[in-house]
Amino acid sequence: MTARLPRAAASTAPATLPPLLPGLDPAWSRLVTVPGRSPEGTGGTDRPARTWHLLDTAASLDELGVEPVGTLLCVHGNPTWSYLWRSVVARSLEVAAAGGPAWRVVAVDQLGMGFSERTGEDQRLADRVADLGALTDELGLTGPVVTLGHDWGGVVSLGWAVDHPDLVVAVTTCNTAVHQPADAPIPAPLRLALRPQLLGRATVITPAFIETTLAIAHPKLDRATADAYRAPYRGAARRGAVGGFVADIPVDATHPSAAELDRIASGVAALDVPALLLWGPRDPVFLERYLDDLAARLPQADVHRFEGAGHLLPDDADVAGTVFDWLGDHLPDGTVPVPAAPGLPADSADSADSADSADSADSPSADDERAHRPLWTHLTELRDSDEPALVEMAAPGGTRTITWRLLARRIDEVAAGLVDLGVRPGDRVSLLVTPGADLTAALYACVRIGAVVVVADAGLGLGGLTRAVRGARPDWIVGALPGLAAARALGWPGRRIATVALPAPARRALRVEHTLAAVARRGAARLAAGSALPDAPAADATAAVLFTSGSTGPAKGVVYTHGQLGAVRDALAGQYDVGVGTGLVAGFAPFALLGPALGARSVAPDMDVTAPRTLTARAVADAVVAADATVVFLSPAALANVVATASALTDDDRRALGRVRLFLSAGAPVSAALLTAATELMPNAGAHTPYGMTEGLLMTDVDLEGVRAAGASGSEGICVGRPAASVRVRIAPLDADGRATGALTEAPDVTGEIVVVAPHVRDHYDRLWRTDRASRLGVDDPRGHRTGDVGHLDAAGQLWVEGRMQHVVTTPGVVVTPVGPEQRIERVAGVGRAGIAGIGPVGTQQVVAVVETVPAARRPGLADPALADAVRAVAGVPVAAVLVVPVLPTDIRHNSKVDRARLSRWATSVLSGGRMTRP
C-alpha cells in the first residue's frame, strides 16, 4: 500500500519551529538533531542524522528553580503532533510552580509529522520505536520516565517502554491499541482509508484524513485550535507521513509491521509498573475492545473512561489534570512508594478519627472480622419451604406464586446451566429483565457461581442504557424481548440468552443462542449427573455492577463485592426488622432484588418500572393482598401517584392497606405533606424516608414525626434523620468558591459535602478512576464515600440535605445551596414547585428562580411582577430573575428530582437572548 502513495509522500523538508499558536508557549519548543547511526563493525550509516521538533519543559523548570523528579515522555499519533499535549505541558508547570512534584515533559513530533524533519522515507513501526529510542539517548534521559501515548503514538510509546525497562516507572495511554484480534475486522474508518484507490487521495493529496480527525472532537474544536492542528500539514508535500502511518497499520499477519506489533503486545503484558489507561468511548476507530485488551495485558492498570469524549481525548477531556493527579498518587517523588510494613499505617493523618472508628463495634474494621454470610443464605435455609417467596402480579395468565423450594431449585439449575455454557467467575452478565421470577433466578444464579451481574435501570432510556451496557462490557446478556431487541439494534456486546422462547428467525435476528429455560434444563441434567456447583465466591470478590440513575450526569457503574452486598442486606434487615416471614411490596427495584436475600416474601406491584408515576393506589392494595404484605417500599414519584389515585380504592382495598405496619419512600426528597397523605391510606404504618444512593442504599433514616419536628426547627434543607447502624456521617465544609475543601467534621450547622462511611458502601466505580478518587479524597477510611450531596448536621446529630454539590451557586461573597430557597419559594401562593439555578462564572453567579405555577403556565416566560416580587421577598437570597414554566424538568429514574443543571443551561440561554422554549 505504501507504494501506492503519491510522489508527494516522498518529499523531504527540514525541521522548523512552529509559528505562534494558541496555547503553545514558544519557550517550550526546541529542535534536536540525532546524529546518524552506524551498525557495529561496519563503516556504513544505518540511519542518517535526523532533526526533531519537540516540546520540552526543562528550561522552564530551570527558571522556576526546581529539579524534576522524572520525565513524562509524550508521543502523539496520526495525524496530530505535539500540540496535542499542550495542556499536559502547561499543567506540569502549574503543578511545579505551586510546589508540587516537578515533572519534565518531553512531547515529540514523530519524524515526518508536526514540525519535525520530512525524511521522504517509509517508516515502519519498528523504525519509529527505534528512532524514538535514539532521540531519548540524545536527550540523555536517565529516568525515571513515564510514557504517555495516544493513537499509534501509544503503540510507539509502549514499544519504547518495553525496550527501556530500566528507565520506565509507569506507562499511561489514551485511546490506543497493541493488538488486532484475528476474528475481528479493523474499524470501518481505517478499512475505508486503506483502500488502494483512496489511501493517497484521502491522506496525502487532500487533507481529508486530517479534517475527519478534527471533526470528531467532542466538543467541537474552535477555529483557532483546529487551525493549529492543521499548521504543520499545509500542502501535500508535508502530509506524506500521514499516509505512511495509515499504510503501516498491520491489517494481518503478513504485514511488515505485524511482527513488531506482536512483540510490543507481548512486552506490554510483561511490564510490571503502574499503568493508567484513559479512554474516550466515542472513538470510531479505537473501539472499546482495544481497551479490554490493554486492561487484560495490564491488570494492574487504573482505567478511566471519559463518557462523552472521543478520539481527540486530550482535547475532549481533562487528561492533563487526571494524569498529574494520578502521578501525585502513585509516584509522588518520581518513584513508586514502598508499602508500609505489616501492622504499620501508611499515613497517620486523621489518626484520632481512625481510632474512633476502629473502636466502634459497628465499624468497618470490626465488621471485617465477622463471618461473611452469602447473599443467598436465606434461600439455602428456606429451600425446603413451600411458603411463597415471590408473587408476580403481571404474569401471563394472572398472578403467579413461586415458593421458596421452587425458587431455590430454579436458581441452582440456572447456575449449573450457566456453568455448563462456560460462564466463569468474573464473567459479566448484563440483566435486561424487569423485576420478577426470571430476573431473581438469573441474578442469584450468577451471584452464586461468581459471575458479576450488571444491572442498569430501563429508566435510563435507550441512550443511557447503551452507554451503561457498552461501558460495562458484559460477556453475556440475559434479556426479555425488548432488551434483546435494543441490544441487537444498538450493538451492545455480549452473548445472548432470552428469557422467552422465540421462533428460529427471531432468534437468528437477535443473535440469541439460548433461552433461560434451556439453560435451566442443562443445569438440571448437570446436577442430576452429580456435578456440584462451584465453591462460593470470596467476600472480597466482585459481585455486581449497579448503575446510578444518571440524574446528575452519565450513569456510573457502582461495583459491589459479595461482602458489601451482604452488608446492604444486613443493614436493611436490622434497621427495619425485615426478614423471614415478612411480606414486602417492592415498588423500588433494589428492594425487589433484595427481597429473597432478606428472606422476605416479596411482590412487585403491577406498574411500568420505567415510569414510577404509573403505580396506582389499587395496584398497591392488590400487591399487599397477594403477598400478605406488612411492608411497602415505593419511590417518591410512585407514592405521589398512589396518593393521587386514592379515590379509586374500595373498602376492601383500604382494609388491606390498613394491615401495613411500615412504609418507606426513598430516592428523592419526600415532603411531610406527602408522607402524611400516605399515612391516611396506611393508617397503621410507620412512615419512614431513608437517605441513600446507589453507592450506599441506607445511610440515614427519619420517620414522619421526625420530618414534622424538623419542619418546625427552621433549619435549612430537608431533614433525612440520623445515621443508620454502622454508618458515620461527616461534613467537608465549603469554601468561598463552593468547593468542599475543609477538614471533615461532625460539628453542627456547618454546610458542606456529605461524607459517609459504612460497611455497605460500594467498593469502587467501574473504570472511572478519576471519579473514584474524587469520591474518596480526604476520607480517612477505605469504606468512605463523598456523596456529592451538600448539607449539614444539626445539634441533635440529624443530617439535612441542601442539594447537590454541582448545583451550589457561588454569588459574590455568598455560597447558596438550592433546597432552602426552593422550599421557601414553594410556600408562595400560586407556586407549585421551584428550582434554583445559577448563571454566570463561578464566584460571580446570579441566582435565577424557575417556578411551576398553579394553575400551570401555558408557556415559559418571565414571571409577572407581583409573583416575582413575592418570590424575591421569601427566597432569602438575592434573585436576579424569576421565570415560570409549565413543568420543571426532572431526572430520568425517579421523575421527582428537579434537573437543576438543565435549568441552569436553559436560564442562561433565555436570559442572554435565546428563544423562550421549554427547558
Residue-level pLDDT at 610? 67
Contact (CB, 8 A) for 469 and 454: yes
pLDDT at 354: 36
Percent of the chain residues topping a pLDDT of 70: 93
Domain assignment of residue 771, given as a range: 700-807
Angle of the 769-776 helix axis to the 319-330 helix axis, nearest 10 = 60
Residue 884 Cα to chain centre, angstroms: 34
Q: What is the CATH number of the domain that holds 736?
A: 2.30.38.10
Q: Quote the mean pLDDT of the chain.
A: 90
CA 808 centroid distance within chain: 22
Distance, in Å, from the CA atom of 234 to the CA atom of 231, rounded to the nearest integer, reads: 6
Mean pLDDT of 432-450: 93
657: cell is 392497606
Strand runs labelled E in 646-757: 662-665, 686-688, 691-693, 696-701, 718-723, 728-733, 752-757
Same domain as 846, residue 799: no
Residue 882: beta bridge partners?
A: 849
Q: What is the C-alpha to C-alpha distance for residues 519 and 498, in angstroms, rounded to an integer?
A: 10
Are 260 and 392 within one domain? no
H or E element, residue 197? helix 196-200
In this structure, is residue 546 part of a structural domain?
A: yes
pLDDT in tens, 506-519: 999 999 999 999 99
| Amino acid code (one letter) for 166 | D
- Contacts of residue 806, defined as CB under 8 A and 6 or more positions apart, other chains included, come to 552, 788, 901
Tell me: do 825 and 791 sit in the same domain: no
| Per-residue confidence (pLDDT) for residue 622, from 0 to 100 | 94
Q: What is the β-pairing status of strands 814-816 and 809-811?
A: antiparallel
Of 760, 775, 807, the residue at which a domain comes to its end is 807
Q: What are the DSSP E strand ranges found in 232-334?
A: 275-279, 302-305
Of 146-150, 749-753, 771-775, 889-893, which range is least confident?
Answer: 889-893
pLDDT of residue 394: 72
Burial class (CB in 10 A: 0-12, 13-18, 19+), 272: exposed
Per-residue pLDDT tens digits for 790-809:
999 999 999 999 999 999 99
pLDDT tens per residue across span 638-658: 899 999 999 999 999 999 999
For residues 753 and 817, membership in a common domain is answered with: no
Listed residue (252, 197, 191) closest to 4, CA to CA: 197
| 582, part of any domain | no
* Residue 501 pLDDT exceeds 80: yes
Average pLDDT score over residue span 259-287: 96
What pLDDT does 68 receive?
97
Written as nine digits, the cell of 264 is 510490543
**793, 847: one domain:** no
- The CA radius of gyration of the chain, in Å to the nearest whole number, is 30
pLDDT of 611 above 70: yes
Q: Could you tell me which residues come within 8 angstroms of residue 520 by beta carbon, excluding any fewer than 6 positions away?
A: 410, 413, 414, 417, 441
pLDDT surpassing 80 at residue 720: yes
| Residue 132 shares a structural domain with residue 61 | yes
The distance of Cα 907 from the centroid of its chain, to the nearest Å, equals: 27
Q: Report the distance separating Cα 568 and Cα 607, nearest Å.
A: 26
| Residues 578-608 pLDDT 10s | 999 999 998 877 777 899 999 999 998 888 7
Peptide bond into 26 cis (omega under 30): no
* H or E element, residue 432: strand 428-432
Nearest alpha carbon to residue 845 among 800, 900, 917: 900
Q: Strand 50-56 to strand 29-34: parallel, antiparallel, or no bridges (unpaired)?
A: antiparallel
**919 and 848 in a common domain:** yes
Q: What is the pLDDT of residues 804-828, one digit of tens each?
A: 999 999 999 889 999 999 999 999 9
Q: Are residues 852 and 881 in the same domain?
A: yes
Within a domain: 224: no
What are the grid coordinates assigned to 596, written together?
429473597
Question: Among residues of the chain, what percentage have pLDDT more than 90?
Answer: 76
Helix (H, G, I), strand (E, B) or coil at 25: coil
Mean pLDDT, residues 49-75 taken together: 97
Residue among 167, 14, 166, 154 at smallest CA distance from 85: 154
Pairing of strands 495-498, 29-34: unpaired
Dig out the grid coordinates for 647 from the structure.
Answer: 379515590
- 844: domain CATH number is 3.30.300.30
> Is residue 549's pLDDT more than 90?
no
Number of H helices, E strands in the chain: 33, 36
| For residues 739-751, average pLDDT | 95
Distance CA 449, CA 537 (A): 7
CATH number assigned to the domain comprising residue 418: 3.40.50.980
Domains of the chain: total: 4
The amino acid present at 97, given as its one-letter code, is A
Structural domain includes residue 241: no
C-alpha cell recorded at residue 491:
450493538
Check pLDDT > 60 for residue 473. yes
- The pLDDT value recorded for residue 119 is 94
CA distances to 62, 435, 727 from 697, rounded to whole Å, are: 52, 18, 11
pLDDT of 156-214, one tens digit each? 999 999 999 999 999 999 999 999 877 777 777 777 777 877 888 889 999 999 999 99
**In DSSP terms, which residues pair with 430 in a beta bridge?**
454, 477
Query: Checking phi first, is residue 577 left (phi over 0); if not, alpha (psi -120 to 50) or beta?
Result: left
690-717 mean pLDDT: 89
Closest CA to 241 of 23, 8, 551, 545: 8
Give the confidence band of 39 by pLDDT, cuts at 50, 70, 90.
low
Torsion angle of the four alpha carbons 643, 647, 651, 652, in this order, in degrees rounded to the nearest 10: -60
pLDDT band at 731 (very low <50, low <70, confident <90, very high): very high
Count of all residues that appear for the chain in the document: 919
State how far the Cα of 437 lies from the Cα of 415, in Å rounded to an integer.
Answer: 14
User: Which of 308, 330, 352 is the endpoint of a domain?
Assistant: 330
Q: Are residues 126 and 149 in the same domain?
A: yes
Quote the pLDDT of residue 367: 45
Does 821 share its domain with 760? no
Which of 119-128, 137-146, 893-902 is least confident?
893-902
Q: Which three cell numbers stand for residue 528?
A: 442430576
DSSP states of 444-504: HHHHHHTPEEEE--GGGHHHHHHHHHHHH--SEEEE-HHHHHHHHHHT--SEEEESS---H
Task: Report residue 4's pLDDT band, with 50, 70 and 90 as the boundaries.
Answer: low
Note whether 807 and 822 are within 8 A (CB): no
**Alpha helix ranges (H) inside 491-560:** 504-510, 516-528
Separation CA 188–CA 204 (nearest Å)? 19
Q: Residue 5: pLDDT band by 50, 70, 90 thresholds?
A: confident
- Burial code (b: 16+ CB inside 10 Å, e: under 16) for 803-822 equals bbbebbbbbeeebbbbbbbb
Find the angle CA(726)-CA(790)-CA(366) to the nearest 5 degrees: 15
pLDDT tens digits, one per residue of 318-348: 999 999 999 999 999 988 876 654 443 333 3
Does 608 map to a domain? no
Is residue 17 domain-resident? no
Q: Is-contact 423 476, C-beta < 8 A? A: yes
d(CA 760, CA 43): 70
pLDDT exceeds cutoff 50 at 750: yes
CB under 8 Å to 4, separation ≥6 — which residues? 196, 199, 200
Contact 872, 847 (CB under 8 A): no
Residue 733 is predicted with a pLDDT of 97
- Judgement on whether residues 267 and 412 belong to the same structural domain of the protein: no
Give yes or no for residue 688 having a pLDDT over 80.
Answer: yes
Is residue 228 one of the residues assigned to a domain? no
- Could you tell me the CATH number of the domain that includes residue 111? 3.40.50.1820
Q: What are the pLDDT digits (tens) for 822-854?
A: 999 999 999 999 999 999 998 899 999 999 999
The DSSP letter of residue 190 is: H
Where a domain ends, among 534, 562, 590?
562
Is there a single domain that holds both residue 822 and residue 786? no
**pLDDT value at residue 358:** 35
Tell me if 715 is assigned to some domain: yes
Q: Dmax of the chain from CA atoms?
A: 104
Strand order in the sheet with 145-150: 29-34, 50-56, 103-108, 70-75, 145-150, 168-174, 275-279, 302-305
At 236, list the grid cell.
501535500
Average pLDDT over residues 553-568: 93
Which amino acid, 263? R
Q: Before 690, cis peptide (omega within 30)?
A: no
- For 341-371, the pLDDT digits (tens) are 444 333 333 333 333 333 343 444 444 435 7
CA pair distance 355, 343, nearest whole angstrom: 14
Placement of cell 438469573 in the chain? 442
Instruction: Note the pLDDT of residue 369.
Output: 39
